[in-house]
Structure 1
Amino acid sequence: MKKIWLIIVFVSLLFSCSDNNKSNKNPNIPNYSVNLSVDMNLPAYSNLKFVSNGVIIPNYGAKGIIIFNAGSGYNAFDAACPNQPITGCVAMTIDGINAVCSCDKSSYSLFTGLGGKEYPLKQYRVEVTGTVIHVYN
């Protein structure tokens, strides 16, 4: 009985650790190294203290990084249009709780990264310590 239980645990861990997320395997967006810290006490980022607010920080990732306060935590996405060639579009813009692609006007939720197209927004990891948001991959 113990062997069966161990096999079940091992198999469930194996599948839970696999990286099936399409956003990390997007052929349109290169994998750039990202290591960014933002202090919400600075005026440029103070609106991140409030739910449903976001900012775009240029010069990181492929086309900049969007940081968004989702209420239950912070999300960070690349500002590159996920379903367009990297050279075809400028950075996405924030429209309320969505990011909008400049090329095809596709809209992506900043809560989930989903937009009804083949690829979702490319997401980065986020850690918050006090008022500092650390975005990395």
Structure 2
Amino acid sequence: MRTLKFLPFCFILFSCSNDQGQRNPYLQEIGFRFEVNLNLPLYSPLTNPGNAVYIGAQGVGIRGVFVMNTGFAFRAFEASCPNHSPSPCSTTQLEGQTAVCACEGYEYSLFTGQQLSVPQDGNRYFNMLEYRAIQSGNIVTISN
């Protein structure tokens, strides 16, 4: 009978997960909301699949946001390099369908946010921080 009372406690204890280490220690997650109007010339490249634009408006992400039309959906990623603290060189640059960090030359896919060619030096590397991107007609809302 005592084991039955102890069983729910064990279930709760072992079902808890430790998510520490999953969060990127370099990038602070901030709240914001920005609407991208696809009818404006500045954002018209996003009407074609495979194109990306950089949005560097004040208050949009930490160092701005890349928005990508993947052909199936829109994706939005933080423009600050995810593998070190924000610094003068940490804003990644748009090069076609990749974002490149000027500090170390790390490259990231704007289709997935994954780091390309991860160094095999035993250190932990992070993919790009992704934000919500929801399309409603000709408006894409980017938020966190």
Q: Call closer, same or farther: CA 1:108–1:70 in 2, change over 3 Å.
A: same
Count of aligned pairs: 120
Aligned to 2:41: 43
Q: Call closer, same or farther: CA 1:55–1:20 in 2, change over 3 Å.
A: farther
CA RMSD in angstroms comes to 2.2
Aligned to 1:33: 31
Q: Which amino acid aligns with 1:110?
A: L
Structure 2 CA distance for aligned equivalents of residues 66 and 122 of structure 1: 11
TM-score computed with the length of structure 2 as normaliser: 0.76
What secondary structure is seen at the aligned counterpart in 2 of 1:112? coil
TM-score computed with the length of structure 1 as normaliser: 0.80
Alignment of 1:37-116 (within 5 A): 37-58=35-56, 59=58, 60-116=60-116
Query: What is the CA-CA distance between 1:123 and the residue it aligns to?
Result: 0.2
User: Aligned to 1:131, which of 134, 138, 143?
Assistant: 138
Query: What is the CA-CA distance between 1:102 and the residue it aligns to?
Result: 1.3
Name the structure with the higher helix share.
1
Q: Which amino acid aligns with 2:101?
A: C
Alignment of 1:2-21 (within 5 A): none
Q: Call closer, same or farther: CA 1:21–1:27 in 2, change over 3 Å.
A: closer
Contact between 2:92 and 2:100, CA under 8 Å: does it hold in 1? yes
Query: What is the CA-CA distance between 1:90 and the residue it aligns to?
Result: 3.9
Gaps of 5+ in 1: 1-13
What secondary structure is seen at the aligned counterpart in 2 of 1:44? helix
What secondary structure is seen at the aligned counterpart in 1 of 2:115? coil
In our comparison, the structure showing a higher alpha carbon Rg is 2
> What percentage of residue pairs aligned between the two structures are identical?
33
